[in-house]
Structure 1
C-alpha cells in the first residue's frame, strides 16, 4: 500500500480527482502482475515473494463477487471521505465459488470489473496485448500458467526467475 505523505487537493480546477490520478500512477509503477481465468480455475502471477509466517491460510468461505464488492466499496469510500486518501493499490482478486472460476480487478477509485485475463503494473500495455493474442475461453490451468510465464517473460522476468517458476510448476 502506498501512503501519500503530502497534501494533494481533492479536485483540480478542471474537476479531476487529483488523488485518484496519483494513486493510479503509483499502481502503474508497481510490479507487473497478471491474472488469467481458465476453464477449471484462476491463476495470478507476479514477481516471486516469500510468504509470511503470519498469513492465516484458513478463512471463512465468501462468494467472490461479494468479497470484491465489499473491498471496492471501502476503496471507493476513501476517495470521498474527508481526512483520508485513496488507496494507492489495484487488486487482482481470483477465486472459485459456486459460479466457478472468477477474476476481478479493483482500481484505487473503487471501480471493479470482471476479466477473463488482465494485467497491471509497469508493463501493462505489453502484457495485455500479449494476453489478448494468447487467451482462449477453453484454456485449462496448465495453459494459463504457461501463458502467464510467457507474458511475464516478454519484459518482466529474468531468465533465472523464469527457470525458478518452471521448477516450481513442474
Structure 2
C-alpha cells in the first residue's frame, strides 16, 4: 500500500465522531465517510442520517475533487454541493486504482457486506471466516474400516488452566461425535443444533439420524447468517468462525465429514483442520491407506499432531476419541491416552 503524504492529515481533517468509527488507524488517513464530502445542510442531504451510511471512499489529497459552484465552502475541509457528487463518484474508481491506495483485501462495501458478492463473485466475509479457522488448534480425523478416530491439540495457555475444561471433541449422538477448530462459542451453537435435530428425528421416527443427514443439518444452520430470508430466523449476524470434523457410524459404515462455515461439506478418508492443517494434511496424504486399523489410526493421528504442534506432545495437551459400531462414540480416558502416547516412536 502506498505511503500517505505528510499533508494528508492536515488537508483532510476528520471530526471526532468520524474518527471514533475508524477501523484501521494505519489506513484512516485515506478513508473518509462520503457525507463529510457533502454539504449536509442543503437539500436533498439535510435529512440524511449519517450514522447509517456504512461505506467509505478513498481519496488522495492530490486528487481532491472540486466543485464549480460559486457557493462552495472554501474551508480547509471543503463541503461539496450536490452537483459535484456525480463527478466525485465517476472519478473515484480511476483515482483509487491509479494511486494504488487500497489493497485488494481492504474493507470496502463488497468486502464488509455479508450478503454481497464482489465483482469477482466472491463473498469476502465467508473467506475471512475460513482464515479464522486457520488460527485455531489443529484437529485431525481418520476413517478406517473399523471406525473413525478424531484427535485434537489442546492448547494450554496458562499453568493455572484446567486442561479438562478445554473441550475440543464433543458428542452429538451415541453414534456421532465431532472435533472443532476455530471459535468455540460458534461451535456450541452448531453442535446444540445438531443434537436437537438428532433427538427430534429419533422421537419422530424411532431411529437414529444418519451421519450425512446430521452434517447436512449443521451446514443448513451455517447458511443462516446476515439478514435472513423472509419468515426465517437469523441465527448470526456473520458467518460462523469454526470448522467441524464430524465422525460417525451408521448403516453406511464409518464416515468422516468436514463442514465449513460456507455450508459446504465433503466426505474424507482423512482430514486435518486448524493452524497446522497444511503440514498435517501432507503427512496424512503420505501415510494413509485403506487397510489401516483403529490402532494404526490412533498412532497416525498422534504422530501427525506431534509434527505440527509447537509444544511437546503428551497425554495432557492432546485428546482422542473414536466412533465404532460396537461402542459408538467415546472419548479416551487419561489412562488410554497415556498408553497411546507411549506407543509413539521416540523421534
Query: Same fold by TM (over 0.5)?
Result: yes
Distance 1:164 1:156, change over 3 A: closer
1:33-55 per-residue CA deviation (whole Å, 9 max, x = no partner) reads: 11000110001100245258xx8
Displacement after TM superposition at 1:168 (Å): 4.9
Match of 1:34 among 127, 136, 140: 140
Does the 8 Å contact 2:137/2:275 carry over to 1? Answer: yes
How far, CA to CA, are the matches of 1:31 and 1:155 in structure 2?
Answer: 10
Change (3 A) 1:109 1:79: farther
- Matches of 2:251 and 2:150 in 1, distance apart? 20
Paired residues, what number? 164
**Aligned residue for 1:67?**
214
Higher relative contact order (CA 8 A, sep 6+): 1
Counterparts of 1:160 and 1:139, CA distance in 2: 23
Are the equivalent residues in 2 in contact too, given 1:26–1:89 (CA < 8 A)?
A: yes
Which residue number corresponds to residue 260 of structure 2?
A: 107
For the residue of structure 2 that corresponds to 1:34, the secondary structure is: strand
Distance 2:302 2:295 in 1: 11
Partner of 1:3: none
- 1:11-90 to structure 2, matched below 5 A, reads 11=116, 12-48=118-154, 50=164, 60=199, 61-78=208-225, 81=228, 84-90=237-243
The higher radius of gyration belongs to: 2
Segments of 5+ residues of structure 2 without an aligned counterpart are 1-22, 24-53, 55-111, 155-162, 175-198, 200-207, 319-336, 343-347
**Deviation of the 1:94 alpha carbon:** 0.3
Q: Normalised by the size of structure 2, how large is the TM-score?
A: 0.42
Q: Deviations over 1:11-52 (max 9, x none)?
A: 344332111011101011110111000110001100245258
Report which stretch shifted further, 35-44 or 148-157.
148-157
Q: TM-score, normalised by structure 1?
A: 0.82
Change (3 A) 1:85 1:134: same
5+ residue gaps, structure 1:
1-5
Partner residue in 1 for 2:338: 167
Query: Which residue pairs with 1:145 in the alignment?
Result: 298
Aligned partners of 2:215 and 2:227: how far apart in 1?
19
CA RMSD of aligned residues (A): 2.9
